[in-house]
Chain A
């Protein structure tokens, strides 16, 4: 039964991919040379080929493979996409579609040798006559189709997807996956979300309760997921209204109003949680598909794999679950195909014959972490570097300067693949860059850790829900825009009077951030607003430093306004073509703000960013050995009248907030931080430095302690200084590294890791962390 389920899923997924492929080819015909369409087409065909390889579907894989070959040549610009090539590839779609129809009827398709032959001739640079299509005599290049489906932005797409749900009233608890091909009117007690197409289904998780007969009938009701989406929207709006009321409550002393405000607060929080729960599903359904995948892939590669799954009960919004299915599949295939050694290789290395691939899901402060790890051969940074040079992603000089840890990140660059042979399983070049893009489109991040000979771990960090996310609100040209907070690294304010300034590389603006060139994007110019900021204007310049797809750049805005939890709304059809926006949101004052899609923005500005990167490389080269003096970046801050410093790298984030935002509970001080309660520790108490209690604002140095953030309270952040500092040890004092001369003043350098380890583990946020709109 499970196999049938998977097979049905394979069919529906492949048909979707076929549609995507066809649309990409048609888009390519309209916009010849647009490499995005080529990549999209390649990716879709690659998925079809990849999954069809697992099922015995006759000649299907052969056709897909031949098509993928041609697409790979197009992608590498070794072949030009003209009418003949387009027609041939569209013919592939027809042929595959016909084969899928055969497969559905249970007949193994024989393949399409004439088409495969024609594709092979094309791949060799020939101009074959295309085989005739059934029911058609002459072969004409198809005219471009004007009304092909536009590419929907991911948010909108995810939000707009209508599926149906079965909801059990009064049972606010768990959400389980249900099989879509089960008789749909069969009553269920579980809250279940059904995929839209009869073929696409989630795996069975809990069986329905044994007594799901007569009495359960009255407890379940079918609800269209668009209605659930609307409820979700409304819950989000109520949170915003509640926040306004709470702000008002802070400035009133009417006890009646205050108590009403408090109960409204509690009810709203619960309402929001409950509504969100209706869309949540455990990752179990997703994980359930992996054993089969592992078995098939490992069988094919002749490797012995033990699969470990944990955290299957971890819940995620179903649109996000859908979104991470492909990245997860890619990662598992990669781990087996590239990461795992053969038993012989392992014996030689003195390892147990079986490779362990572990997939673990867990909650981590508003995010879900999914770690895919293996104890295979690991990734050799030098090999990555060599490959990057081969692929012309890096110059020899750049390679020599790149730290081994950074070399691993090259794997995320588009067009990178370390597999030396093309394999049917994880292929050539679709992989980590696609994984990264897909995860980032969900507002998540991807990290990679690897040790040669020991194994590799890929860490996905994914928001619990797409619908609400933390964002930085900025304004430009009089309008406000939201930037997803997960991508924001820091905020920089350039004050020309202090000698800071923008520089230009060609026509690309840059800023020297702690000695490194940071490419800049002027938001007003990017959005073609009427009154662009004059370059080099005299006033202060605000930059939000962001990182997406491994590219770091600064977005220049007029003002940084606020940090807020926002409810993501899809954009209407009329404006979906403006892909620079991932959606819209309604701010607490009721105005609409657009959400910037940084992935798209990075893509648009790539040429400029690359030029800056090249320039930075050649500049560093010219600077030569003088650049090798080790420099440190110090964060200088004050507690009371005492100046202290710490290495900036030890601080994850700096937050400025109103002193009243810190709440005291029975177990210490806490502050609401990204939807959770974060413990706050006055740093002065650990260093016997008295705090200044007068200030209206305080700063928190947010550090990681274990996997939880903790806020260290300081009175003032003074400056960030780059230089070579000699830290002189003084008589042993706890929590201090020693003293250094920073900007001409003797400054105590704090040993944050040592201090953090001293904080009692009892400082934990109180139970019942609430996801709270800020």
Chain B
């Protein structure tokens, strides 16, 4: 029997990415943010999630894209991390899709170092391809 899983999808530039739906806590509209000086470049700010201080992480450079010009106009995908939640800044939030093992391909061989460990698989949908990310790797900097 094919193993099925649900993926919450989102866009980074034109790249369709996904996270296991059980690792996505919630999706937020653009948030007010506070800059975090002296932090790693991927950390674009801190936001107030109902009284909790959460870091906002920009994954675009990992995919070879320029950093997002305006973190406060991105949507936020809040990921349940082992050490607490963290938010990914994304350009657009897509559907939750159900995929099976038959659709799964291994990550391409020539994938850059930045993506190794981050991308755990590639799934073929009807019209496009979604890159499944490892939640913990996505929110590590």
* A528 within 8 Å of B (CB atoms): yes
Q: Is the CB of A591 within 8 A of B34?
A: yes
Tell me the A561-589 residues at the B interface (CB within 8 Å).
569-575, 577-578, 580, 584-586
Residue from A233, A236, A574, A594 in contact with B139 in the complex, judged by beta carbons closer than 8 Å: A574
Knowing A527-B38, A529-B37, A593-B34, say if A574 contacts B43 (CB, 8 Å).
yes
Q: Does B52 contact A (CB under 8 A)?
A: yes
Bound complex: CA of A585 vs CA of B53, how far in Å?
A: 8
- Chain A nearest CB from B120 CB (Å) reads 20
Within 8 A of B (CB), among A408-424: none
Contact code string B99-120 (vs A, CB < 8 Å = 1, else 0): 0000000000000000000000
Query: Is A592 a contact of B46 with CB atoms below 8 Å?
Result: yes
A592-617 toward B: CB 8 Å interface, digit per residue (1/0)? 11100000000000000000000000
In contact, A527 and B37 (Cβ under 8 angstroms)? yes
User: With contacts defined as CB atoms under 8 Å apart, how many contacts are there between chain A and chain B in the complex?
Assistant: 74
Tell me the chain B residues, 39-55 only, with Cβ under 8 Å from chain A. Answer: 39-40, 43, 46-48, 51-55
B24 within 8 A of A: no
Which residue of B43, B47, B52, B140 has the most chain A CB atoms within 10 A of its CB atom?
B52
A237 to B53, CA, bound (A): 12
Residue contact B51 to A237, C-beta cutoff 8 Å: yes
Roughly how many angstroms separate A585 CA and B139 CA in the complex, as a whole number? 21
The contact of A575 among B32, B39, B51, B52, by CB within 8 Å, is: B39
Q: How far is the CA of A158 from the CA of B84 in the complex (A)?
A: 16
Q: What is the bound-complex CA distance between A620 and B43, given in angstroms?
A: 47
Q: Is the interface of A mostly helix, strand, loop or mixed?
A: mixed
Rounded to whole angstroms, the CA-CA distance of A584 and B86 in the bound complex is: 15
Given the complex, which residues of B lie within 8 Å of A480, measured CB to CB? Answer: 34
Interface contact A574-B53, CB-CB below 8 Å = no
Judge if A590 is at the interface, Cβ distance under 8 Å.
Answer: yes
Q: Are B55 and A479 in contact (CB under 8 A)?
A: no
- Interface on chain B toward A: helix, strand, loop, or mixed SS? loop
**In the bound complex, do residue B34 and residue A572 qualify as a contact, i.e. CB atoms below 8 Å apart?**
no
> Which A residues touch B48, using CB under 8 A?
586, 590-592
On whether the beta carbons of A574 and B141 are closer than 8 Å, the reply is yes
- What class of interface size applies to chain A in its complex with B? 20 to 34
Docked CA distance A572–B43 (Å):
11
Q: Across the interface, which residues of A come within 8 angstroms of B57, CB to CB?
A: 574
Contact B83 A573 (CB under 8 A): yes
- A578 and B38 CA atoms in complex are apart in Å by 6
Q: Answer whether residue B35 sits at the interface, using C-beta atoms and an 8 A cutoff.
A: yes
Given contacts A234-B51, A572-B83, contact A584 B37 (CB under 8 A): no
- Tell me which residues from 525 to 564 in chain A have a Cβ below 8 Å from any Cβ of chain B: 527-529
**Do residues B38 and A574 form an inter-chain contact, with CB atoms below 8 A?**
no
The residues of A that contact B139 with a CB separation of less than 8 Å are 574
Shortest Cβ gap from B59 to chain A (Å): 13
A233-B51, A573-B83, A586-B53 in contact; A479/B141 too (CB < 8 A)? Answer: no
Nearest-CB residue, chain A, relative to B141 = A574
Contact with A along B18-40 (1 / 0, CB 8 A): 00000000000000111111111
B52 contact set on A, CB distance < 8 A: 233, 569
B54 with A572: CB separation less than 8 A: yes
Contact indicator B43/A575 (Cβ below 8 Å): yes
Contact A592 B47 (CB under 8 A): yes
Q: Check if A590 sits within 8 Å of B46, measured CB to CB.
A: no
The answer, among B34, B83, B84, for a CB contact under 8 Å with A594, is: B34
- A356 smallest CB distance to B (angstroms): 48
The chain A residue with its CB closest to the CB of B33 is A592
- List, in ascending order, chain B residues with CB within 8 A of A590's CB: 32, 48
A594→B51 contact, CB < 8 A = no
User: Taking CB as reference atom, which chain B residue is nearest A585?
Assistant: B53
Contact B86 A594 (CB under 8 A): no
A577–B40 alpha-carbon span in the complex (Å): 9
When the two chains form their complex, are residues A592 and B38 in contact, meaning their CB atoms are under 8 A apart?
A: no
- Cβ of B45 to closest chain A Cβ, rounded Å: 8
In angstroms, Cα B47 to Cα A477, docked, is: 18
Query: Inside 8 A of B54's CB, which chain A residues have their CB?
Result: 572
Measured CB to CB, the closest approach of chain A to B44, in angstroms, equals: 11
Whether the Cβ atoms of A528 and B38 lie closer than 8 Å is yes
B55 & A594 in contact (Cβ 8 Å cutoff): no
Binary CB contact string for chain B from 70 to 88 against chain A (1 if under 8 A, 0 otherwise): 0000000000000110100
Indicate if the CB atoms of B53 and A571 lie closer than 8 Å: yes
Contacting residues, chain B, for A584 (C-beta < 8 A): 34, 46, 53
Contact across chains for A528 and B37 when beta carbons are under 8 A apart = yes
Output the least CB separation between A235 and chain B (Å): 10
| Bound complex: CA A527 to CA B51 (Å) | 25
Chain B nearest CB, measured from A124 CB (Å): 42
Q: Are A574 and B55 also in contact (CB < 8 A) when A584-B46, A590-B32 are? A: yes
Residues of A within 8 A of B38 (CB): 527-528, 578, 580
- A479–B84 Cα distance when bound, in Å, is 25
Q: How far is the CA of A593 from the CA of B39 in the complex (A)?
A: 15
Given the interface pairs A573-B83, A574-B86, A592-B46, the reply to whether A586 lies near B36 with Cβ below 8 Å is: no
When C-beta atoms are compared, the residue in chain B nearest to A233 turns out to be: B51
Cβ–Cβ < 8 Å partners of A477 in chain B:
35
CB distance from B86 to the nearest CB of A (A): 6
Indicate if the CB atoms of B37 and A578 lie closer than 8 Å. yes
Option from B32, B39, B86 in Cβ contact (under 8 Å) with A578: B39
Contact A586 B51, CB 8 Å, known A574-B141, A578-B38, A594-B46? yes
Contact with B along A471-491 (1 / 0, CB 8 A): 000000111100000000000
> Quick check: B39 and A592 within 8 Å, CB to CB?
no
Q: Shortest CB–CB separation between residue A754 and chain B, in angstroms? A: 49
On chain B, the residues within 8 Å of A569 by CB distance are 52-53
Residues of A within 8 A of B43 (CB): 574-575
Residues from chain A with a CB closer than 8 A to the CB of B40 are 574-575, 577
Q: What is the distance, in angstroms, from B52's C-beta to the closest C-beta of chain A?
A: 7
Q: List 28 A-B contacts (CB under 8 A).
A: A234-B51, A237-B51, A477-B35, A479-B35, A527-B37, A528-B38, A529-B37, A569-B53, A571-B53, A572-B86, A574-B43, A574-B140, A577-B39, A578-B39, A584-B46, A585-B53, A586-B48, A590-B32, A590-B48, A591-B32, A591-B34, A592-B33, A592-B34, A592-B47, A592-B48, A592-B53, A594-B34, A594-B37
Closest 9 CB pairs of A and B: A527-B37, A592-B34, A237-B51, A592-B46, A584-B53, A578-B38, A569-B53, A573-B83, A572-B55
Interface residues of A (CB under 8 A from B): 233-234, 236-237, 477-480, 527-529, 569-575, 577-578, 580, 584-586, 590-594
Please name 10 further chain A to chain B contacts, defined as beta carbons within 8 Å, in addition to the given A480-B34, A578-B38, sorted by A numbering: A237-B51, A477-B35, A528-B37, A572-B86, A573-B84, A574-B55, A574-B141, A575-B39, A585-B53, A590-B48
